[in-house]
Amino acid sequence: MTAVKENNLFSAADSRSADGTETEYGNTHETGQLRRCMSVWNCCTLGFSVVSPVVGLYAIFGVENLVTGGGWIAALILSLFMQLTVATVYAELSSQFPIAGGAYKWSRHLIGPKTGQYAGIIYVSSVIAMLTTTAYTGGMWLSAVVMGGDTQGTSAVIWGGVFLLICTLVNIVNQRIYKIINLLGVSAEVLGSICVALILFFFFRINPISELFQHLGTGLAPTSMTAFLAALAIAGWAFIGFDSCSTIAEEAHNPERVIPRAIFLSLLAVGSVVLFNSSALMLSVNHATLIEASATSDPISPIIASTIGAWAAKPFLVIVMMAFLSCGSSVVNYASRIVFSMAREGNLPAFFSRVTRKTQLPRNAIAGTVLMAGLGLLFGLNDGAVATIIAFGTGGLYAMFSMTTGVGLYARLTGRWNPALGALRLGRWGLAINVVAFIWALFELINIGWPRDYIAAPGASWWQLWAVPLVLGTLLILTTLHVQTGYKRAIKKVLGITAPGGIRKQVDRNTL
């Protein structure tokens, strides 16, 4: 039976490009229309703040040093290079299908509604887990700036809630407010962190460049090979979120060209800053001091205080807090557009697809996203549970990278997708890059999800070590039950009417 191509895929607003020319998106219907108000710079700052070099650096720096013992810069460079291949596939797809929801919509359009449901559930769950993680950690930094000292348990959850509230207000008032706050946060993050790194590199460097590639295998990992694989897994934490640019395509001017540029620029900018900042920190202290600092909850501030001076600790703390607030606000923006897109397709309640008449913002989707992330904060009352959310946030996004690059590759090979129709045309190189990106994303998903007791917190339970496969497996099972239940209901509804003569009407399974 021939598959029936779905027509109602994209919003009416996106059936035309920014210059008014027709695109291939077809006739559609939607509950709301988002306002086009994002320039290439706005899209870049969104992607930059979601990936966030400061947040990424804090995520990997201490763990990398403890697990590998050192010499992990090579893994960081390799991870960045391979993530650029994934970003290339995203850029190709977004140049042809610039639509809210990004990878979720591409899976639905190129393969089918069922695949779209799987992609949507994994995508939105991963990004909300990422938001919960950012809020939990960002709340600690907010507390440190406002109150001083560390926060744990209930107080950490409360401060995480305050952090989420601020991020919500930034997004829910007006998109112009978000753009201003995000620009200020990114500017402070770039200028502050790079200035600190430049000072360390030019005035406090005590090690040769070769130090960056030494000591691999002297940490918690048992061998040099396991240390390198672990370094690749941890490095992957720093280079996620560039896909956020694709989820706001409906709000960008000339999205077919703007979004691919934003994807590349945000990842390259963040990658460069993370590489330089990491190198500057490692070259400014001796190895023993580096390992000692890495064993603390804040491995970076002690290095800055011991080199530049104690006076620099407080300003740097403010920079870190601003980076987390910028990151959190952008993740709310990022996640809410996926929720909005799924609701518009009927995979989530239609309530979330409504936009405000004046500002054309999906406030219901924003509120729903923040509410789900806020409920996730309650896991912060248990250290083991919050560690599981943190692990899944990264693993789930690599599952989406694997799925999206796999969907792109399958669609290329079967003729469902012709990349030559997009604004970004790579010719034969596109297929080669797609193959490499899919293999890398799948490898990194397995690598990140692989249970390693030397990466997890001391005394971690078995279910914490298996967090990524357990949560992903549970999501796949629940989604399968949901899809099959919905399919059976649709079959009964359509086939409940019998054609004259007792012959039931034929139904194309692909239309359900």
Does 488 score more than 70 pLDDT? no
Does 97 score more than 50 pLDDT? yes
* Bigger pLDDT: 29 vs 66: 66
Domain ranges of the chain: 12-511
Binned at pLDDT 50, 70 and 90, residue 168 comes out as very high
Instruction: Indicate the helix (H) or strand (E) that contains 106.
Output: helix 103-110
Give the separation between CA 361 and CA 173, rounded to whole angstroms.
Answer: 9
Give the separation between CA 249 and CA 68, rounded to whole angstroms.
Answer: 39
Taking CA 62 as the corner, what is the angle to CA 58 and CA 68, rounded to the nearest 5 degrees?
135
* Bigger pLDDT: 467 vs 434: 434
pLDDT of residue 493: 56
pLDDT of residue 495: 57
Work out the mean pLDDT of the chain and round it to a whole number: 84
Give the separation between CA 252 and CA 355, rounded to whole angstroms.
Answer: 17
C-alpha distance from residue 127 to each of 310, 332, 344, 351, 470 (Å): 36, 9, 18, 20, 17
pLDDT of residue 56: 87
pLDDT of residue 118: 92
- Mean of pLDDT values over 373-392: 77
Give the separation between CA 154 and CA 177, rounded to whole angstroms.
Answer: 31
Q: What are 228-277's pLDDT values in tens digits?
A: 999 999 999 889 989 999 998 888 888 999 999 999 999 999 999 999 99
Binned at pLDDT 50, 70 and 90, residue 459 comes out as confident
* Bigger pLDDT: 30 vs 255: 255
pLDDT of residue 72: 95
Give the separation between CA 85 and CA 56, rounded to whole angstroms.
Answer: 19
Does 134 score more than 60 pLDDT? yes
Q: What is the rounded end-to-end Cα distance, in angstroms, of the chain?
A: 14
The CATH fold of domain 12-511: Amino acid/polyamine transporter I (1.20.1740)
Does 485 score more than 80 pLDDT? no
Q: What are 111-132's pLDDT values in tens digits?
A: 998 899 999 999 999 999 999 9
Binned at pLDDT 50, 70 and 90, residue 1 comes out as very low
Give the separation between CA 67 and CA 75, rounded to whole angstroms.
Answer: 13
Binned at pLDDT 50, 70 and 90, residue 308 comes out as confident
Does 25 score more than 60 pLDDT? no
Q: Find the range with the poorest average confidence among 98-112, 168-182, 249-263, 415-429.
A: 168-182
Q: What are 60-94's pLDDT values in tens digits?
A: 898 999 999 999 999 999 999 999 999 999 999 99
Q: What are 326-358's pLDDT values in tens digits?
A: 999 999 999 999 999 899 888 888 899 888 888
Measured in whole angstroms, how far is the alpha carbon of residue 206 from the centre of its chain?
Answer: 36
Residue 362: closest CA among 374, 350, 372? 350
- Mean of pLDDT values over 355-379: 88
pLDDT of residue 241: 87
Q: Find the range with the poorest average confidence among 5-14, 51-60, 418-427.
A: 5-14
pLDDT of residue 29: 36
Measured in whole angstroms, how far is the alpha carbon of residue 439 from the centre of its chain?
Answer: 19
Instruction: Dihedral sign for Cα 264, 278, 434, 126, please.
Output: negative
Q: Find the range with the poorest average confidence among 39-48, 223-232, 320-329, 484-493.
A: 484-493
pLDDT of residue 162: 94
pLDDT of residue 377: 87
Binned at pLDDT 50, 70 and 90, residue 491 comes out as low
Total residues belonging to the chain: 512
Does 389 score more than 90 pLDDT? no
Q: Are 253 and 39 in contact (CB under 8 A)?
A: yes
Residue 204: closest CA among 304, 64, 311? 304
- Mean of pLDDT values over 296-313: 85
